């Protein structure tokens, strides 16, 4: 992969390695999303259970990111990154062989566990291997590759579902993961570590994993009494986890980094809200196009590429801009554009013109393409190298928890409006209502993100909390 004429060979190989894995992960996510209606029909899955297929992946990823961050500091970030790539490939192979919804959800859980290894280390590897002068450009390239995967995924996934069946959507990314493994094992000798002798916070890992698991399971049974109880318990466990981490000298999640550094904290908050507002878009639009518009999976995929294609085109430009201008201004413009795009999609009905839908997807894609790489650069540029692992892990975990929240919101809305029934023409009006409510909810999540983005502070002049002494 040619990153830049002036970039050292090692740096190009690092970007190629993490970029290939980012592309493969995005391809897996987007192809499976397009395959959801076919999976539901083949395995007789109702609407509420169907949402567990993307949700369980995110829940597992969120629960295991913090442990993988700490393990990567001690064992090596590249080693954990490659372990994650191997694990996802193996779990994907067995997911293609499943014969029941329970088995498929179990394989998706394992995919999420191992994907957390990549999520926890991707940004920290790039930040450790590349100088700050070109880091924004690298994040732009990685975001472009990720959304290129999301762009090609709906088209490839639609073709695969229509011609070969949904099972093949779980394995088409495996050769790309093997390319990342080849680079990491044979072409990159370097390894990157964090603080290697910090005690592992077992209590924090258990409490956090229990919180994520309880919260996710509770949402699946809302609005029942026990579902509400589980959601409340999950929230209490999250609060307890934060309180526990604030007291420990060597925590799994360094809460003090948020307390002492406004730029870092506000950048992470913006990421959390924006990923919560945008991740479920492909799932919602896939259901809308295939059910309410009666489009084939392949035709729906051609429409769905609009948003990730816009992100893939915009992200490299945004990355370069973040190397020259204050990220808070560029990212905030991106959030505003995302709001406009999501608000237009919140008005769609069965007879809405496809041109209007494509425009909404394009505008929201342009906005997110301006936001994502710029915000990632702001997160990593606001801390010193000793904190790269902690910062990358916090950003990755909040990103995945935001994505999980996005699917939790959609699952909750579907459960309340449609109920636990299979999606048939008889519930199409409720499906359309659920989709519109979901998009308006996502618009609401973007609004506080604008505040956090604009008020995060500068990273190019004197920064608050720049000199940190956090263990």
Report the number of distinct structural domains present in the chain. Answer: 2
For position 457, what pLDDT does the model report? 75
Structure tokens at 110: 């394992």
Preceding amide of 223 cis, omega within 30: yes
Q: What is the pLDDT along the chain (471 residues), one digit of tens a residue?
A: 444 444 468 888 898 999 999 899 888 887 887 788 888 888 888 766 777 787 788 788 888 888 888 888 888 889 999 999 999 999 999 999 988 888 999 999 999 999 988 888 887 888 888 877 777 778 778 877 887 887 777 778 888 888 888 899 999 989 999 999 999 988 888 888 876 666 788 888 899 888 888 887 776 666 677 878 888 898 899 899 988 988 888 787 778 878 777 888 899 899 999 989 998 887 899 889 988 998 887 788 788 888 878 887 888 888 777 777 778 888 999 999 999 999 999 999 999 999 999 999 999 999 998 998 888 888 877 777 767 777 777 777 787 778 778 877 887 888 888 877 777 888 889 999 999 999 999 999 999 999 999 888 776 554 443 333 333
Residue 461, domain member (yes or no): no
Helix, strand, coil percentages for the chain (3-state, nearest 5): 80, 0, 20
For position 464, what pLDDT does the model report? 41
Is residue 219 domain-shared with residue 109, that is, in the same domain? Answer: no
Q: Quick check: pTM over 0.85? A: no
The DSSP string of 408-422 is: HHHHHHHHHHT-SS-
CA distances from residue 275 to 27, 163, 166, 272 in whole angstroms, order as listed: 17, 32, 26, 6
For position 179, what pLDDT does the model report? 94
The full length of the chain comes to: 471
Is residue 246 domain-shared with residue 272, that is, in the same domain? Answer: no
Distance (Å, whole) CA 405 – CA 425:
28
Q: The CATH number of the domain where 57 resides is what?
A: 1.20.1250.20
Residue 195, domain member (yes or no): no
Residue 368, domain member (yes or no): yes
For position 196, what pLDDT does the model report? 66
Distance (Å, whole) CA 59 – CA 92:
17
Is residue 152 domain-shared with residue 176, that is, in the same domain? Answer: yes
Is residue 281 domain-shared with residue 144, that is, in the same domain? Answer: yes
Phi-psi region of 191 (alpha: psi -120 to 50; beta: other; left: phi over 0): beta
CA distances from residue 22 to 67, 263, 470 in whole angstroms, order as listed: 20, 26, 30
Is residue 401 domain-shared with residue 419, that is, in the same domain? Answer: yes
Residue 441, domain member (yes or no): yes
Is residue 246 domain-shared with residue 258, that is, in the same domain? Answer: no
Residue 406, domain member (yes or no): yes
Is residue 320 domain-shared with residue 423, that is, in the same domain? Answer: yes
Is residue 28 domain-shared with residue 156, that is, in the same domain? Answer: yes
Distance (Å, whole) CA 237 – CA 92:
31
For position 288, what pLDDT does the model report? 92
Residue 459, domain member (yes or no): no
Residue 464, domain member (yes or no): no
Residue 83, domain member (yes or no): yes
Is residue 247 domain-shared with residue 338, that is, in the same domain? Answer: no
Is residue 305 domain-shared with residue 355, that is, in the same domain? Answer: yes
251, 267, 293: which is the final residue of a domain?
251
Residue with tokens 């008020």: 455
| Domain span at 232 | 201-251
Distance of CA 437 to the CA centre of its chain: 22
Is residue 161 domain-shared with residue 176, that is, in the same domain? Answer: yes
Is residue 222 domain-shared with residue 98, that is, in the same domain? Answer: no
For position 82, what pLDDT does the model report? 93
233, 251, 269: which is the final residue of a domain?
251
Compute how many other C-beta atoms are within 10 angstroms of the C-beta atom of residue 439.
Answer: 27
């Amino acid at each position: 992969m040619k990153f830049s004429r002036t970039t050292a060979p090692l740096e190009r190989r690092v970007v190629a390695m993490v970029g290939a894995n980012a592309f493969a992960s995005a391809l897996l996510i987007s192809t499976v999303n397009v395959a959801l209606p076919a999976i539901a029909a083949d395995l007789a899955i109702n609407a509420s259970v169907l949402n567990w297929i993307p949700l369980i992946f995110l829940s597992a990823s969120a629960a295991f990111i913090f442990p993988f961050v700490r393990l990567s500091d001690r064992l090596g970030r590249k080693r954990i990154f490659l372990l994650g790539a191997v694990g996802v490939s193996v779990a994907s192979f067995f997911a293609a062989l499943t014969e029941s919804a329970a088995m498929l959800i179990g394989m998706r859980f394992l995919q999420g566990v191992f994907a957390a290894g990549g999520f926890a280390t991707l940004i920290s590897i790039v930040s450790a291997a590349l100088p700050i002068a070109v880091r924004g450009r690298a994040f732009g390239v990685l975001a472009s590759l990720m959304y290129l995967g999301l762009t090609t995924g709906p088209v490839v996934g639609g073709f695969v579902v229509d011609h070969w069946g949904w099972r093949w959507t779980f394995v088409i990314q495996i050769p790309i993961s093997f390319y990342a493994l080849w680079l990491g094992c044979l072409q990159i000798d370097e390894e990157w570590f964090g603080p290697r002798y910090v005690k592992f916070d077992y209590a924090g890992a258990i409490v956090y994993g229990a919180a994520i698991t309880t919260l996710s399971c509770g949402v699946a049974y809302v609005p029942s009494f026990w579902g509400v109880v589980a959601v409340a318990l999950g929230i209490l466990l999250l609060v307890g986890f934060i309180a526990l981490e604030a007291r420990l000298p060597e925590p799994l999640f360094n809460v003090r980094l948020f307390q002492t550094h406004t730029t870092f904290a506000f950048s992470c908050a913006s990421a959390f809200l924006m990923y919560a507002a945008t991740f479920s878009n492909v799932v919602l639009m896939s259901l809308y196009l295939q059910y309410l518009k009666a489009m084939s999976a392949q035709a729906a995929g051609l429409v769905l590429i609009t948003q990730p294609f816009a992100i893939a085109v915009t992200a490299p430009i945004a990355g370069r801009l973040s190397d020259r201008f204050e990220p808070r201004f560029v990212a905030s413009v991106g959030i505003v554009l995302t709001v406009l795009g999501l608000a237009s999609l919140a008005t769609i009905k069965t007879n809405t013109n496809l041109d209007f839908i494509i425009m909404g997807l394009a505008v929201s894609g342009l906005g997110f393409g301006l936001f994502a790489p710029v915000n990632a650069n702001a997160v990593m540029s606001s801390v010193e190298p000793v904190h790269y692992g902690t910062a990358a892990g916090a950003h990755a975990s909040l990103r995945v928890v935001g994505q999980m929240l996005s699917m939790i919101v959609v699952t909750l809305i579907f459960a309340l409006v449609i109920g636990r029934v299979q999606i048939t023409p008889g519930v199409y009006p409720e499906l359309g209502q659920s989709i519109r409510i979901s998009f308006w909810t996502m618009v609401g999540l973007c609004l506080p993100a604008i505040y956090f983005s604009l008020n995060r502070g500068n990273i190019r002049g004197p920064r608050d909390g720049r000199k940190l002494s956090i263990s």
